[in-house]
Amino acid sequence: MKNSIQSMPWGAFEGQEVRLWHLVNANGLELQFTDFGGRLVKAIVPDRAGRFDNVTLGWPTLDEYVAENGGTYYGALVGRYGNRIGAGKFTLGGKEYTLELNNEPAGIPCALHGGLRGFALRKWTVVEEIHDEDKVGLVMEIESPDGEGGYPGNVKVRATLTLDNNNVWHIGWKATSDQATPISLTDHAYWNLDGVDAGTTVMGHQLYVNADVITAYGPAMIPTGEFRDVTGTPFDFRTTHAIGDMHDWDYDQLAYGAGYDMNWVLRKTPGDELSPACILTSPATGRQIEVWTTEPGVQVYDGYYLPVRNAGVALETQHFPDSPNHPEFPSTIVRPGVPFYSTTEFRFKVQG
C-alpha cells in the first residue's frame, strides 16, 4: 500500500472555502485535517487485533466546530498563546498589555488559548502538500496582525504536519514576529484509544508522565510560581497507572482543575532536543501513543468539562501557563530576527 493524500471541500467559513484532507500512510493509518483551526478531525489507527477505529474526538461537520466557538478546542492548532495568562495582562519592555478575557476558572477571568479569535477559530492556509516515499503531510500558515487579541507584533506561524510510515504524526512549528511578543503553540487533540465510538471514558487508560514536578496553581488555575514535587500526590505518573486511580478530590490541585488539568515540568537533560513527555495506553485495545517533544512542559487535561465527561484526554506539549508573568519560567518571548521553533511527535503503537 502506498501513502496518499486526498482533499475535498468541507463547507465554508466567513466566505472562504474550507477543505478536509485525508493523509494515509503505507500501513493504512489515517489522519484527517481541516484548515479551519488547523484541526485534526479523525485519527484512524489499528488495535492489537488489527481493527481500525477513530481515536480522537471531534465533530462530524464544520458547522459544529464553528458553532461551539472554542468550547472544546477539539483537535485545534492553538495560539498565539496556548493555555492561560492570568487576568489577561502582562508587562513587556516596560509596557503593560491587556488581552481579551475568554475564560473564568472559579469566576476569575483570564486569557485562554489566544483569546476570542485565537488560531483555533480561524482559517489556516495550506501552502504545500508533502508527498514523499516515506511520509505525507501538509504545511499550514496563519498570520496574526499587531494588536490581535491584545498581543503586540505582526506574527506569522507555520505548522508542518506529517504522517510517516513508522506511524508517527510529526508537528513542526515555526513562528516569527516583528516585535517582541509572547508565543506558545500547542495541539489540542483529545484521545480515547478505546475508540471514540466505544462508549468508554479515559479513566481506565494507563498514563506515564516524564516529570518530577508540576507548576502548582490556585483556584483561578494560574501558576503561583511554586514547583511542587509530585511524590506522594495524585500527580505522580512516573510509574504508569490508570488516569482514574488517584482522583483524590481533597487534593487542592485536583479540586481546582475538576480533575487533571495541569502542566507537568518535563524532565530534561542538558542538550536534550526531542525527548519523551508521556505515554498513553488503552489496556482494552492495546493502542498506545508515545508523545515526544522539544517543549519544557505538557498539559494533561482529562476532559472533565467535555460534552461527555472524561470522553478524551488532551496531551498538550507547551511552554508553561502564564509564563510572561513568571520570569522564573522558561521564556516565551519571541523577538524580531529570532524565530521560535518547536517539535512534537505522536508515535502510534500497539501493545500485545
Which whole-number Å values give the CA distances from 325 to 6, 54, 146, 152, 223, in the listed order?
A: 44, 39, 20, 16, 10
Strands 186-188 and 241-242: unpaired
Q: How far apart are CA 142 and CA 109, in angstroms?
A: 27
Structure-derived torsion over alpha carbons of residues 127, 130, 131, 134, reported in degrees to the nearest 10: 180
Strands 211-217 and 261-266: antiparallel
Q: How far apart are CA 110 and CA 150, in angstroms?
A: 13
Q: Which residues lie across from 293 on neighbouring strands?
A: 275, 344
* Active-site annotation holder among 205, 316, 319, 326: 316
Closest CA to 293 of 313, 321, 264: 264
C-alpha cell at 334: 519571541
Q: How far apart are CA 4 and CA 285, in angstroms?
A: 26
Structure-derived torsion over alpha carbons of residues 342, 315, 288, 157, reported in degrees to the nearest 10: -30
30 is known as an active-site residue: no
Rounded to 5 degrees, what are φ and ψ at 180? -60, 130
C-alpha cell at 305: 468539562
* Active-site annotation holder among 113, 170, 188, 319: 188
Neighbours of 286 (CB within 10 A): 16
Please state the three-class secondary structure of 218-268 as a single string.
Answer: CCCCCEEEEEEECCCCCCCCCCCEEHHHHCCCCCHHHHHHCCCEEEEEECC
319 is known as an active-site residue: no
Output the CA torsion sign for 202, 207, 209, 214. positive
Catalytic residues: 188, 316
